[in-house]
Amino acid sequence: MTRLIIGAMVRAIGAYPSGWRYPGAHRDPRADAAVLRRAAQVAESARLDFLFFGDWLATGHDLEFQDPYLVARVDPLSAITYLAGVTERIGLIATANTSYADPYTLARSTASADLLSGGRAGLNLVTGSEPRAAANHGRDFHAANDARYDRAVEFEHVLRRLWDSFEDDAIVSDAAAGVFLDPSRLHATAFDGTHLSVAGPLNVVRPVQGHLPIVHAGTSPRSKLFAAQSADLALVAVSGLEQAAAIRAELRALAFESGRDDRTLKVVAPVLPIVGETREHAQSIADELSELVQIAEDWPDGPPEAFPAGRSLAHVSALVGRDLAGLSPDRAVTPQLVSGFSASGQELVEIVAERTGRSPWGERPPTLRHLVVAASVNASIIVGTAAEIATEFEAWGDAGAVDGFNVLSAVQPAQFEAFARGVVPELQRRGAFPTEYEGTTLREHLGLERPGNVHVDRQDASVGGFR
């Protein structure tokens, strides 16, 4: 039986494009504080390993239709610092973008978050794919993949040196002798690289965890190398179990080749479970969410300029191999229509049937809208009862495809709570997930050791990727 790592990828207005429109959903970012607090408390009573907050360094009208949660949300480091005060055990992971962040400032705020949370903070380092971020940070352009990763490598190296500025026992606090600091245990950062230059030392004591667990999410070859060499936790977007198994094996092999103990690299996949009391109930939730997604054809005179081109009948026509442009999105997908579809079109029809229970051969056929939505909503979705979803999670774990999951919720708070109160206890009953927190730090939740100090013990400091 594999012990899974389970965290929640929190998106306050829901992780499905139409989640915020679902009856009873949280949909006003001005009230995020209450929703985040409640999610954190529910997650902690379910004994989840961590809450994870992504980030995006720009906004615009187009995001309303693509990923509405990106339009307006609180800064992730502020979110975890706030939640550290209302929780006691759960790990708290914030995302930062190495292409734009300042390493001294980030080392300082993350070391602070770790101290203030008692060793529960984690840091997701991304290089970013949003070109508008450049103009928001005084840059002329968003750097190319290689240049971004060259900077990310230096960034991670500098972060570890900064976090290790103070040895664990550098603050002596000897009131009788009048000695506060042992200066021999305070180390300059002295880093002068191609992209970054930092003198140090950092003016915060060493984090409780030594180094915060580093998470990385990306898809390019450089991203994989970065995860393998520098991250404790790799977040990999995958379409299914086989792909997850292949990527995990590849990342672990890369980690091993880079001279690291590959067991210290944990791989988790983002998944979006849609949980119902029965399978039909779960499918009806998925069905309603599909119906609430707007597609280009919903505007008779053409969609707003910001609307994503991919969410249209024209786009799905190319995929199914049949010209659907000009048809009503509410038109039923009949066996006759499907008979002219390409193999990928047939596959799409099967995905819709699995998610919504609608089949061209059944009493309730899907509509063209269902096809457009299934083709354009990019997430690994599992629809079912708590027991069915737990079985799927177990299957991934037992096959060695992942070390765990980062769970997205389509609708806040309802779907998140259905997961925490339904799926998690089911996994606990089966012994696939612990019922109590055994350790106190995020590292302990993830089964990772505390690293040595890079200034003192280079051997030991190779944990987590210091080179």
Quick check: 43 and 51 in contact, CB under 8 A? yes
Residues between 262 and 281 that touch ligand FMN (CB under 6 A)? 270
**Total chain residues near ligand FMN (CB under 6 A):** 19
Listed ranges 125-133, 156-164, 340-348, 431-439: which one lies at the site for ligand FMN (CB under 6 A): 125-133
Stretch that binds ligand FMN, among 127-135, 311-319, 391-399, 446-454 (CB under 6 A): 127-135
The helix (run of H) or strand (run of E) holding residue 256 is helix 241-257
Give Cα 151 to chain centroid, integer Å: 22
Please report, as residue ranges, which positions from 191 to 220 form the binding site for ligand FMN (by CB under 6 A).
217-220
Please answer whether residues 53 and 97 qualify as being in contact, where contact means their C-beta atoms are separated by less than 8 angstroms.
no
Cα–Cα distance for residue pair 267/250, rounded to 1 Å: 11
- Helices and strands per DSSP (H, E), number in the chain: 17, 13
346 lies in the binding site for ligand FMN (CB under 6 A): no
Question: By beta-carbon distance, which residue lies closest to ligand FMN?
Answer: 54
User: What CA–CA distance (Å, rounded) separates 379 from 312?
Assistant: 18
State yes or no: residue 231 binds ligand FMN (CB under 6 A): no
Mask: binding to ligand FMN, 74-113, rule CB under 6 A, as x and -?
A: ---------------------x-x----------------
Beta strand residue intervals within 326-427, DSSP E: 381-385, 404-407
By the rule CB under 6 A, 237 interacts with ligand FMN? yes
* Both tokens assigned to 90: 């759960």
- Report if residue 235 touches ligand FMN, rule: CB under 6 A: yes
Given a contact cutoff of 8 angstroms between Cβ atoms, the answer to whether 424 and 47 are in contact is yes
| 56 lies in the binding site for ligand FMN (CB under 6 A) | yes
Answer left, alpha or beta for residue 128, where phi above 0 means left and psi between -120 and 50 means alpha: left
Candidates 59, 112, 145, 440: give the one binding ligand FMN (CB under 6 A).
Answer: 145
User: What's the CA gap between 355 and 336, in Å, rounded?
Assistant: 21
Q: How far is the CB of 247 from ligand FMN (least distance, A)?
A: 10
Q: Which is nearer to ligand FMN, 95 or 229 (CB)?
A: 95
Which residue from 129, 243, 284, 428 is in contact with ligand FMN, where contact means CB under 6 A?
A: 129
Binding residues (CB under 6 A) for ligand FMN: these are 54-56, 95, 97, 126-129, 145, 217-220, 222-223, 235, 237, 270
